[in-house]
Amino acid sequence: MMKLSILTPAYNAGNTLAASVQAVASLKIDGELEVIVVDDGSTDNTASIAGELAAAYPWVKFIRRENRGESAALNTALDNIGGEPDFIAIIEADVEVRPDWLELLLPAFDDPKVMGAGGFLETSSSDPWIARLAGYEIEGKFKSKEKETVHLTSANVLYRAEAFRIAGRFEEKLVNASLDALFNSKLLDEGYKLIYVPEAKVIHHYKTSFFDYLKRQYAYARYRAHLTRTNLYPADRWVGAGVFLAGLFWLSILLAWKWPLLPVGLFILMIVVNTIPTVKLFMEKKDPALILNPLVITLRNMVVAVGIPLGIVMKKLGRY
């Protein structure tokens, strides 16, 4: 029988943690299970909910610590694994796995060179509008992924326990962004494989406020300079084109004294460019919130266009 240890970092996850752990309880597993929930200094009711879950399920271990970010929370969970697991999974506190998630991922490990496998992130139709828009974009990125991939998201991923002896711990200076990408790259650099299994589906609840969404996108951009592989999905090249336009927009602000209509024209161009894929997405999803999508993606690209160069400068200064 196998032993599976699941790491669940949680920060202000009071609205989603219970459903996440209860979904894990439905997993089909032939062996021993433990879930290590690390409350990373939440200011909501996450701690009390985690305590109730630990009391209800003997395989749930609850740890509370000061806020230091997801990387540190994951390392704390690693430090508190009991025994010697065969596999270590990360299922974030805003993710609900399906009962067949584990059994769909395990066959990938028949190849001894495979160190990690992960599944598809579905968007919840009941989430707030900004969470749905963020989810739709990620779904599109996942649909472009190949089976053998360079990136598995920490939202839902299964690793051999050996992977953590090879790649080590998570880089805590990355705090909440790009930590999984850096970890994955270390495994790939050692000649191992990562496998994407689209049939292994989970529901992922994204940030529920527009400000939190932009803050998260900025963090991704800010820490990207520390990665050796920056295009994590084939679809990222199109995101890169949008960010390039956003960078031109910021530069045009400096020239507005001479050509005042230049920034306006570039902003309109960005909206038009982002409207084209949105129309196709609307035909698929039929979600009225997508009316806002061109503006949301435009503002996101503007934030990313600030985060990327700042991250490069900070890296050259030897800082994160």
Q: Which of 160, 185, 215 is the last residue of a domain?
A: 215
Question: Do 254 and 182 share a structural domain?
Answer: no
Do 170 and 247 sit in the same domain of this protein?
A: no
Domain co-membership, 242 together with 199: no
Q: Is residue 220 part of a domain?
A: no
Give yes or no for a contact between 119 and 136, defined as CB atoms under 8 angstroms apart: no
**Residues 15, 141: one domain?**
yes
Q: 150-165 pLDDT, tens per residue?
A: 999 999 999 999 999 9
Tell me, what's the pLDDT at 58?
A: 96
Assigned domain for 108 exists: yes
Q: Quick one: 249 and 119 in the same domain?
A: no
Count of domains observed in the chain: 2
CA distance 170 to 72: 7
- Please indicate, yes or no, if residue 231 is contained in any of the structural domains: no
Question: pLDDT tens digits for 4-39?
Answer: 999 999 999 999 999 999 999 999 998 999 999 999
Rg (the chain; Cα; Å): 20
Same domain, 105 and 243: no
| pLDDT value of residue 176 | 87
Confidence at residue 289, expressed as pLDDT on a 0 to 100 scale: 98
9 and 88 share one domain: yes
Which tens digits make up the pLDDT trace of 29-73? 989 999 999 999 999 999 999 999 999 999 999 999 999 999 999
pLDDT of residue 235 exceeding 90: no
pLDDT at site 269: 97
Tell me the pLDDT of the chain averaged across its residues: 96
Q: Has residue 231 got a pLDDT over 90?
A: no
**Alpha-carbon torsion angle 13, 211, 178, 40, nearest 10:** -30
Higher pLDDT residue, 236 or 295?
Answer: 295
Task: Judge whether 194 lies within some domain.
Answer: yes
Place of tokens 């290590």: 36
- Within-domain flag for 155: yes
Is the domain of 203 the same as that of 240? no
254: domain range? 236-316
Residue 51: CB atoms within 10 A of its CB come to 15
Is 302 found in the same domain as 273?
yes
210 and 300 co-located in one domain:
no
Mean pLDDT of 175-187: 94
Least confident of 103-107, 158-162, 312-316: 312-316
Share of the chain above pLDDT 70, in %: 100
If asked whether residues 56 and 183 sit together in one domain, one would say yes
Task: Please compute the mean of the pLDDT values over residues 79-107 and round it to a whole number.
Answer: 97
pLDDT at 234: 85
205/240 same-domain check: no
Whether residue 222 is contained in a domain is answered as no
Does pLDDT of 238 surpass 90? Answer: no
What distance in Å separates the CA atoms of residue 165 and residue 209, rounded to the nearest whole number?
38
Q: Is residue 224 part of a domain?
A: no
Q: What is the band of 237 on the pLDDT scale with cuts at 50, 70, 90?
A: confident
CATH number, residue 121: 3.90.550.10
